[in-house]
Amino acid sequence: MEDEVTRCYRDYGHVVLRRARALLGDEEEARDIVQEIFMSLLDRPEQFDGRSHITTWLYSATTHACFTRLRNQRTRQRLLRERTAPGDATAVASAEQSALVRQWLQRLPDELALVAVYAFVDEMTQQEIADLIGGSRRRVGDLLKRIEDIMAVAEREATS
């Protein structure tokens, strides 16, 4: 099994890193996620049951691991502000926007956060999302509507 995981890492490690980097916005943490994903595959190879392609499983496992990491790190926004030069308004706005997106993802239940990333970050179709989460297009549509409703309520609260 170790040879299979090594081959998988060599073939798809860059895919996991790119996904983790996009969701976390931090190279070091993204590399930690890559290590976690492949170590867990070594420790528990049965978690990939072969019902989907390995890249689909890696993509999903990486997304879940990143959400867990984000949820456990409430200081992300403060760290992003500290790392940005005070005079760089564009970088500050970008860092604040990234932190805000991550904060929203932390607040949403897992299923909604996954659908939000797939729809708004990855720009997947409802059918592609349904295939990934194992649901119907109608279910994905309902979840997207819930996300929109939650965002609308939060926006109203923020402007009140």
Query: What's the Cα-to-Cα distance from 36 to each of 27, 32, 41, 61, 113, rounded to whole Å?
Result: 14, 6, 8, 10, 21
Domains of the chain from N-terminus onward: 1-73 (1.10.1740.10), 108-160 (1.10.10)
58, 64, 97, 156 from 153: Cα distances, Å: 34, 26, 19, 5
Residue 87 CA, chain-centre distance (Å), reads: 30
Q: b/e for 54-92, b at 16 or more Cβ within 10 A?
A: eeebbbbbbbebbbebbeeeeebbeebeeebeeeeeeee
Per the prediction, the chain carries an average pLDDT of: 80
| Confidence band for 12, pLDDT divided at 50, 70 and 90 | very high
Closest CA to 34 of 54, 14, 7: 14
**Which carries the bigger pLDDT value, residue 94 or residue 54?**
54
User: What pLDDT, in 10s, does the model give residues 102-141?
Assistant: 777 777 888 888 888 888 777 888 988 888 888 899 999 9
pLDDT of residue 18: 93
CB 144 within 8 A of CB 154: no
* 121 secondary structure, DSSP code: I
pTM of the entire structure?
Answer: 0.58
Closest CA to 108 of 78, 75, 153: 153
Q: Could you tell me which residue, 32 or 104, shows the higher pLDDT?
A: 32
**How many CA atoms, within 13 angstroms, populate the side-chain half-sphere of residue 19?**
25
pLDDT in tens, 70-102: 776 654 455 555 555 555 544 444 566 666 667
Q: What is the DSSP track for 43-69? A: H-GGG--SSS-HHHHHHHHHHHHHHHH
The average pLDDT across 129-156 equals 87
SS3 content of the chain, % helix, strand, coil (to 5): 80, 0, 20
Write down the pLDDT at residue 157. Answer: 77
